Structure 1
Amino acid sequence: MKKLLIFAAAAAMIGLSAGEPAIKLTEKQINRKGVKLTRKSWKVNFHHSTLTFSNTLSPEGKLITSAWDDLFLGIGHGSINNGSWDGWNFLSAQGIKSKPLPGAAPASKVDLVRYNDSSSVNINWQNGQFRILQQANTPAWLYVKVTIPEGIKEVTLRVRPGGSHYNIKGRERWIRYNGADFESKGWSAKAFMPAAGVDGMTFFSRNYNEKYGNLLVFESAKVEKITYRCENPIYISFYAKPGVKEMNFALSYFKNEDAENAMKRFLVEQLPTAKKAMDSIQWDKAPDFTEFSRNAAQVKTLISGIQGSKKAAFEKEFAEINAAYETAKAKNDVPGYTNALERLRKLQKNVGSAAMDLLN
């Protein structure tokens, strides 16, 4: 009976879904004109979408941005032809005194926070924070929170509705807001004022992939003016009213659908619900510790069936992970808990494979 239980647990551990929320950090060394640089890249899998963030560092630890791929903050969300929300640099923000993020300095900390029904990544700097969250049951939406304690000057989003192909003759990029359409082209920024209580806009193309576009919810009450420029991508910037330290956004898209129908349905019918959903996001809710406890019990069962040096190594790692979990739980440290859970899941797979080898 015990052997059967171990076999079932091992099979379950090996079958853990690779598509569940996770974060992976990779580092590589780059030699650029005799200078050794370090590139740190984070790949985040949400429940349905992805995020890529990278920093390139000098030997002194300063941020390098001299090459096009030195700094990325891109998302894969409704992607089409390398387009939709920008896959390279979709978000930036500037405080009233400081330089724009993410280009001002290296991130001080990058964390994944995972709940049963949602996951978010927190990107931290000394003077600000970006948080990006996705819920398991709303695959078409990503939620963004920008926080700058000194006060926000502006937040810019970048979007390529329908794709990112260059030099498309006749292609036009458009923004629809409050019943008006604005064509975005050229480097000179144009502006329009937010209308009270009108918290949504759409992005679409004409003469190019017209059945694909993007939807945005924002907080008009916090915005003094909105500017837009360029077409590949569109830069849409929200200038904050005095005293605003936090701004929230909800990002979505439509795919393979008549643009007029999709935009009308969103702006007329769905926007109030989408805004309410954004406002009700629980960014700092208490974690559910039951997943760790359940998985830890399975790992303990698996380790009991292993012999020799592997068993001792697994027991040591399991004890270290348990200690990290208990510390995080005592402090209600959600990123720390998520990290311990990710470590446990990796151990589960390794122990499961070892157990299956013994049973074969």
Structure 2
Amino acid sequence: MWRKKTAWLVLLGLAICIKIFSLFPDAVEKYYAEGIYPVVSKLQRIIFGWLPFSVGDILYGSVIVWLIYKLYHTVRRVLKRQTSKKYWRYALLQTAFVVVIVYVSFNLLWGLNYNRRGVAYQLELNVQRYSKEDLIKLMEQIVFRLNALDSASRVNREAISRKRNLFDGAVSAYDQLARSEADFTYSFRSVKPSLYSYLGNYLGYTGYYNPFSGEAQVNTTVPLFIQPFTTCHEIGHQLGYAKENEANFAGYLSAKSSKDALFRYSVYFDLYSYSRYYLFAQDSMAAKKLDAQLPAGIKADYRELREFVKKYRNPIEAVIDLLYGEYLKANNQPGGKLSYNEVVAWLVAYYKKYGPAAI
């Protein structure tokens, strides 16, 4: 009994300290994001990165099996009327104990990065509300990049169907970026194909980061031309950019630094979609005018992606989207799923600081 009380006190004390600490972004940036986290994440990648399979996926699968078993066991006891107030009190305490353990572990291993100052602070970007004119200028530059990369990105596209080429290319892209921006130095790689890639098609994800194992997982069954940017995005999470807009921006900076035309094409392809979402809401005619400037090959890729998404659309995906949106809102991303699109504000700020040639 004494040990249980001590464990509760320690865990609750840690949880309270984490919550208070998270309220001070400057401290989180200095002591956690730039201090504790890089050491923790490198250790995770050293321990698990060399394994050819995803330890985190096995962990998630084991937890799901355990939860199903516990649910079955509980329902069975209820039907047999073998429960009591003591049983439910114990079950509630055990559940609360596990929740606190997960909360503390999640935040110490990665989650506190949601509360850091982040990439705009590091790069001294003045991120503000932008006008329609700012957005159009940005999109014109993206269209220019896409047109220039259209042919080159198709020369050896099938090469990244080999996962080694895909992951090597993403690591190389970050190596290129780190030559000018040391904050994006990526060492001890741990990028792997998701064991649940086909399931991901039905649940609507192209990749994810596992904070408990430090592994970046990529859904390698989606269209090839979106996989490079997805991989760079997930490495961005590994580097401590927890918010989706910031991971997108880290992915952008790295992918556009790549020597591989497909990596550059992949990032501009996604960024055009993000930007178009906002422009179409303000001025659909302006968005369609920019669409008309895209060559047939790029339009075909967008049709392929739409058909792919449509093929796997199902009611469960909508529920997952809703739950994930609430998760993002609970972690300093009030836009929910639209947090991915909010990278546009960073792009406009970057455009204004460095000019169109930098995009």
Report TM bin, short chain: under 0.3
Q: Counting helix residues as a fraction of each chain, which structure ranks higher?
A: 2
TM-score w.r.t. structure 2 length?
Answer: 0.21
TM-score w.r.t. structure 1 length?
Answer: 0.21
The structure whose Rg is larger is 1
Higher relative contact order (CA 8 A, sep 6+): 2
Q: Counting strand residues as a fraction of each chain, which structure ranks higher?
A: 1
